[in-house]
Structures are given as structure tokens and as C-alpha cells.
């Protein structure tokens, strides 16, 4: 207990990191192990297979994360254990203490993390379903198989870690344990080995990127090929290029000689092996999070494309009643309202030529769903068998949609026997923001026409939206859900790595302060050091995503459309994590009393 009190902050960092890791693992498993959910909400037959490999990848990432967390735990306690041994404590008793502490901390973090994961799954799931109007079937925040897998997986990892800690402590000399935190984790790599790793990184990443592009030829085989080659290629990339880059900058006197850059580069190279491992994990997590959110937004765009393909009007009302007109007032940001008069007999439905000349009807100019071109329908441009025919069909009451369309003058229209009805078109700035109001209007309009609760099979934007939403909202939901989960783990991983070493770095920064280095210079050095640790995996992650989107070419009209949106959102969030980490790190290593 005294050890816990003395290093409460370090234990808090360790515990929170393990809690987040187990929570995110549960969130993913709650989807991956729920086969009914995966099959019911995916348009891809191989979705269970993809989730299976995703689970393997997450397990590998979690394993690396736990190994690092275990190393951090040992780095906190090994000096204390060495002191106990020097004071006469039996090695066997110390070994038991290490085992109990490792398993206890890990088990407690797993329990708390799993409970947190259930809550996070429920909140995130409900929020996304409501915001996306997603049609999600068989979703369950509490999923027993995921709970059991999370418990078993993490407990096994912590038991293995405890055994490793025991073995390591009992075999390591006491003096080495006492001074382990002052020993740089750095080995000189021979030039041939460095070149071999660089070449391996390029070849492996090239194979991985090619396999994702060749998914049509390789089919399901592309997933495991990409998984293995990209993970290994990323590790070799950081273990060779990052080391080479730091050594290159240190040899460049013009660069290293400015300010305290030599110190900054020395900080980066002090525990270089730890950084290469964690940066590899972060870049993979970055790619998974950004890729999942990008795909989620891509499927969102897919739904919008399908909806716009059905009609250029957000809602069309046929001779609306006073009650329906009151509901129209609930629409926000209405950009256009046009009313057309119509009459019909047994063969034809008639429209006023003057109304269509004054307000041409809008329709898709092409049958290509990706096309955004719009054409204007007037009496002179109308053709019976064309997109304009289906657009005009939407104006007609349901029972008269099979009648031939005729445009007539005002006098001819007045001479046609029968009651004049109307069709009023509405366009709004955002269909999503007005979804509930539009749904209520469509329901009222159908009821007035005697169509009951018939939902699909009609022309109109709402129907097209509902059909597309049923097809793609499950994939959209999974993309956003997993993106949020991986984003949380990404932040936890990198912040955990940087902050865990802050206590050791504090001595070096204190020394610089005592010899007269200004706090502003130290803060600038910290921003550069942490900036490099954030920037490098970010760049690699973006490249992974750009190639990874090739996997979705068969499912999406254009997976690269509007990339600025997910990339922009992610860069802002990543930037927030960066500034938060810098702020926390500066608060630990810089002594404000010496300012």
C-alpha cells in the first residue's frame, strides 16, 4: 500500500490505460462475436470473416499494449523490489508479491474496463442509431460472449505477464534493477541490418497495399495478406527509418546546433526501441480509427446519393389538408416551394404549360447514380421514357401515376371537367435535420391518398432514403462505432507512453532549468519532441487509409469522395490529443517554482 501511495499518479496512469484497453476490446468484441448483428447489418457476405481478422489484429495490438503496460509497472516497482532484496527479503516472497500485484492490478482494471465498455457501447450505440437514423438489428450493449472473451483474454495476459515479471526480477542482478531507469534502451544497428529493414519495410508495405487494391482477384485472401504484411512493414519502417532519421538529424550541425535540439534528439533516442514499438501500434490504430470513420462517412454519402437519385425534392404533398399544412411549418431552412395544378381523366393527367415554364421541374440528368447533374423539365423538354417521366410521376396522385402526361394552356385546362388538385414540392437545406418532419408529412400524405402504411416501392426521396438506409446504415453504424473505439484507444496508447516516461525525464529537465535554460525554450523542445511522436504515426496512418479504401471500391460509388471531412475531423481530434499531452507533460517535467 505504501508503494501505491507514493506513486499514485503513475498507478493512475497505468490503471486508466488498462481500463481503456479492456473497454475498447469489449466494444469491438460486442460487435465481432455477435454473428446475428454482423450478418443482419452488413451488405458484405464476408463480414464475419473480416471481423474475425479484425479481432486478431486488435488482439495483437492489445498484446503489445499490455506488454508495454507491464514494462511500465515493473519500471515503477523494480527499484523498490531491489531495495527489499538488499534489506534481506527472500526472493521467493518478492516473486509472490510481484505476481499478486500484477494479477491484482490487471484483474481490477479488466473488471472496471469491461463495465465501462458496456456503458460506452450502450451510449455510443444509442447515440449513433439516433443521429444516423440507422436501421440496426440485433445490437446489444451487454453481450455475454464478448464479456467472457474479454475477461479470459486479459486474465491470461496478466498471468503470463506476472510469470514473466517473476522470472525477470529473480534473474536480474540487484544493481541493474536499481539503475534500470537510467539505462538507455538503445542498441547500435549495423548498416547492413538497417538497410535490410528499410528494404523489408518497403517490400512488405508494397505487398500489403497491392493486396488491398487486388481484392477482386484475391477475394478474401487479400485480408490476411494485408494484415500480416502491413503490420510487419510498419514495424520495420519505424525501427529502421525512425532510427536513421534521428541519427541523421543529430549529425546535421546546422539543425542540431540550434537551441537545445541536441537534447531533444537525445530524448527521442534514449529509449528508441520502446518508441518504435509503440509508434507502430499507434500508426495501425490511427489507420483503423481514421479508416473506420472515413468508411462510415462514405456509407453516409452513399445513402445521400441514393436518396437524391430517387428525387430532387425532399417531400411532395398532394392537395395537403389544413392539418398537413400545419406540419409543413416544422420544416426548417426551406429553400424552395413550388405548387403545380393538375387534373385528370381516364387516360391523361394534365398540367399547365405556364407553370412548368415559370418553374421547371428538376430531375436527374443521368442514370449514373454518382452524377450530380440536374436537368430542368419543361413542356418542350419532356420525354415520356426518360428520367423526366419518373420525376413527373412523383407529382401525380398515387392512383393516377400510370396516366399519360399532357401539358395544356390555361384555357384548355379550365375546360377539362373535374376537380383541380395540387402537388407542392419542398426542398430543404438538410434532409437529415428535417428527417422526422419529412417522415410525418410523407405518412400524412399517404394516409390522405388511401395508401395506408405502405413504405417502399414509390417514387420520392424519402422512399429512396429509407431503402438505402436499410441497406447501408448498418455498415455506416459499424464504421462510426469502431472509429470512435479505436480513436479512444489511440489516444490512450500514445498519451500513456509519453506520460509514463515523464517522471524519469523530470530529472533531466530540472537539470537544464538549474543551469539557466528558460522555461519557454524547454516548452518549445517538448512541443517538438511530442510533435514528432504524433506526426510520424499520423503520416503513416494516413497512407495506410488511402490505400485501404481500395477495399471498398466494390461497395461504394466513390470511397475517396469528400475525404476532407473525415480527415479534417480526425486531424482536429488528433491535434487536441497532442496539445493535451503536451500540457500534461509540461506540468510534470517543468518545475514552476524555478521560473
pLDDT at 111 over 90: yes
Counting residues of the chain whose pLDDT is more than 90, the rounded percentage is 7
pLDDT at 170 over 70: no
* Segment 393-403, tens digit of pLDDT: 788 888 888 88
pLDDT at 181 over 60: no
Q: For the chain, what is the mean pLDDT?
A: 79
Counting residues of the chain whose pLDDT is more than 70, the rounded percentage is 82
Question: Please, which pLDDT band fits residue 337 given cuts at 50, 70 and 90?
Answer: very high
As a whole number of angstroms, the distance between CA 246 and CA 56 comes to 32
As a whole number of angstroms, the distance between CA 454 and CA 206 comes to 51
Q: Determine contact, residues 281/64, Cβ cutoff 8 Å.
A: yes
Across 83-94, average pLDDT: 70
pLDDT at 4 over 80: no
Beta bridge partners of 343: 350
Say if residue 244 is exposed, middle or buried (CB neighbours under 10 Å; 0-12, 13-18, 19+): middle
> CB under 8 Å to 233, separation ≥6 — which residues?
200, 201, 202, 203, 204, 205, 207, 208
pLDDT at 293 over 60: yes
* Segment 348-392, tens digit of pLDDT: 889 999 998 999 888 877 666 666 678 888 888 877 545 556 677
* Segment 38-50, tens digit of pLDDT: 776 665 555 666 6
3-state secondary structure 372-383: CCEEEECCCCCC
Longest CA–CA separation in the chain, Å: 113
pLDDT at 457 over 50: no
* Segment 494-533, tens digit of pLDDT: 777 777 677 677 778 788 888 887 888 888 888 888 888 8
The closest of 578, 570, 586, 591 to 530, measured between CA atoms, is 578
Beta bridge partners of 297: none
Cα 494 to Cα 59, 251, 506: the distances in Å are 18, 28, 19
> CB under 8 Å to 184, separation ≥6 — which residues?
269, 270, 271
pLDDT at 346 over 50: yes
Q: Determine contact, residues 365/374, Cβ cutoff 8 Å.
A: yes
Angle at 357 between CA 354 and CA 359, to 5 degrees: 105
Res 123: pLDDT: 87
Q: Would the pTM of this model clear 0.85, i.e. be above it? A: no
Across 425-443, average pLDDT: 88
* Segment 146-157, tens digit of pLDDT: 899 999 999 998
pLDDT at 240 over 70: yes
pLDDT at 177 over 60: no
> For the chain, what are the domain ranges?
1-183, 185-303+479-595, 313-452
The values of phi and psi at residue 315, to 5°, are -155, 145
Q: Determine contact, residues 500/307, Cβ cutoff 8 Å.
A: no
State how far Cα 223 lies from the chain centre.
19
Name the grid cell of 218: 484475391
The closest of 393, 386, 394 to 367, measured between CA atoms, is 386
> CB under 8 Å to 167, separation ≥6 — which residues?
none
Res 306: pLDDT: 78
pLDDT at 536 over 60: yes
Question: Taking the alpha carbons of 214, 218, 476, 115 in that order, is the dihedral positive or negative?
Answer: negative
Res 456: pLDDT: 47
* Segment 50-85, tens digit of pLDDT: 677 677 777 877 777 777 677 666 666 666 666 766
pLDDT at 455 over 50: no
Res 9: pLDDT: 62
421-428 and 315-318 strand pairing = antiparallel
Res 205: pLDDT: 92
pLDDT at 443 over 90: no
As a whole number of angstroms, the distance between CA 103 and CA 545 comes to 37
Res 389: pLDDT: 62
As a whole number of angstroms, the distance between CA 505 and CA 518 comes to 17
Res 458: pLDDT: 54
pLDDT at 204 over 90: yes
Amino acid at each position: 500500500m505504501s508503494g501505491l501511495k507514493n506513486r499514485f499518479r503513475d498507478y493512475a496512469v497505468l490503471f486508466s490505460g488498462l481500463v481503456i484497453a479492456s473497454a475498447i476490446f469489449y466494444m469491438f468484441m460486442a460487435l465481432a462475436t455477435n454473428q446475428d448483428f454482423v450478418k443482419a447489418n452488413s451488405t458484405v457476405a464476408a463480414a464475419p470473416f473480416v471481423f474475425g481478422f479484425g479481432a486478431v489484429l486488435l488482439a495483437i495490438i492489445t498484446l503489445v499494449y499490455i506488454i508495454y503496460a507491464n514494462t511500465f509497472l515493473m519500471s515503477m516497482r523494480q527499484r523498490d523490489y531491489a531495495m527489499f532484496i538488499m534489506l534481506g527479503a527472500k526472493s521467493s516472497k518478492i516473486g509472490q508479491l510481484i505476481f499478486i500485484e500484477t494479477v491484482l492490478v490487471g484483474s481490477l482494471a479488466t473488471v472496471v474496463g469491461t463495465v465501462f465498455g458496456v456503458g460506452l457501447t450502450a451510449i455510443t450505440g444509442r447515440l449513433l442509431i439516433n443521429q444516423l437514423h440507422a436501421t440496426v438489428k440485433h445490437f446489444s450493449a451487454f453481450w455475454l460472449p464478448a464479456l467472457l472473451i474479454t475477461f479470459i483474454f486479459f486474465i491470461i495476459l496478466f498471468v503470463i505477464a506476472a510469470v514473466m515479471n517473476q522470472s525477470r526480477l529473480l534473474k536480474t542482478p540487484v544493481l541493474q534493477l536499481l539503475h534500470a531507469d537510467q539505462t538507455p534502451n538503445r542498441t547500435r544497428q549495423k548498416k547492413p541490418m538497417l538497410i535490410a529493414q528499410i528494404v523489408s519495410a518497403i517490400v512488405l508495405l508494397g505487398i500489403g497495399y497491392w493486396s488491398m487494391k487486388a481484392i477482386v482477384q484475391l477475394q478474401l485472401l487479400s485480408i490476411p495478406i494485408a494484415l500480416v504484411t502491413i503490420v510487419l512493414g510498419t514495424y520495420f519502417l519505424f525501427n529502421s527509418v525512425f532510427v536513421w532519421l534521428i541519427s541523421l538529424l543529430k549529425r546535421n550541425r546546422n539543425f542540431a546546433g540550434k537551441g537545445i535540439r541536441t537534447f531533444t534528439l537525445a530524448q527521442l533516442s534514449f529509449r528508441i526501441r520502446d518508441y518504435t514499438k509503440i509508434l507502430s501500434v499507434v500508426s495501425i490504430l490511427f489507420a483503423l480509427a481514421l479508416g473506420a470513420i472515413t468508411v462510415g462517412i462514405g456509407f453516409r454519402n452513399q445513402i445521400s446519393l441514393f436518396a437524391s437519385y430517387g428525387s430532387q425534392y425532399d417531400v411532395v404533398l398532394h392537395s395537403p389538408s389544413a392539418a398537413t399544412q400545419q406540419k409543413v411549418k416544422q420544416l426548417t431552412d426551406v429553400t424552395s416551394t413550388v405548387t403545380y395544378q393538375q387534373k385528370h381523366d381516364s387516360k391523361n393527367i394534365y398540367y399547365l404549360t405556364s407553370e412548368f415554364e415559370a418553374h421547371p421541374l428538376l430531375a436527374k440528368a443521368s442514370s449514373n447514380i454518382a452524377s450530380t447533374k440536374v436537368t430542368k423539365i419543361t413542356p418542350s423538354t419532356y420525354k415520356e421514357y426518360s428520367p423526366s417521366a419518373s420525376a413527373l410521376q412523383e407529382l401525380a396522385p398515387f392512383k393516377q401515376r400510370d396516366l399519360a402526361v399532357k401539358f395544356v394552356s390555361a384555357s384548355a385546362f379550365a375546360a377539362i371537367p373535374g376537380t383541380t388538385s395540387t402537388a407542392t414540392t419542398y426542398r430543404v437545406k438538410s434532409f437529415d435535420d428535417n428527417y422526422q418532419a419529412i417522415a410525418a408529412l410523407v405518412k400524412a400524405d399517404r394516409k390522405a391518398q388511401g395508401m395506408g402504411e405502405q413504405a417502399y416501392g414509390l417514387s420520392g426521396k424519402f422512399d429512396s432514403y429509407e431503402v438505402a438506409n436499410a441497406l447501408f446504415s448498418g455498415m455506416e453504424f459499424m464504421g462510426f462505432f469502431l472509429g470512435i473505439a479505436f480513436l479512444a484507444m489511440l489516444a490512450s496508447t500514445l498519451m500513456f507512453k509519453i506520460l509514463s516516461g515523464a517522471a524519469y525525464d523530470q530529472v533531466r529537465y530540472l537539470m537544464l532549468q538549474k543551469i539557466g535554460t528558460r522555461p519557454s525554450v524547454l516548452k518549445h523542445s517538448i512541443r517538438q519532441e511530442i510533435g514528432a511522436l504524433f506526426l510520424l504515426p499520423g503520416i503513416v496512418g494516413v497512407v495506410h487509409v488511402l490505400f485501404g479504401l481500395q477495399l471498398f471500391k466494390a461497395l461504394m460509388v466513390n470511397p475517396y469522395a469528400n475525404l476532407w471531412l473525415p480527415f479534417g475531423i480526425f486531424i482536429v481530434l488528433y491535434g487536441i490529443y497532442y496539445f493535451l499531452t503536451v500540457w500534461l507533460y509540461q506540468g510534470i517535467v517543468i518545475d514552476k517554482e524555478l521560473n
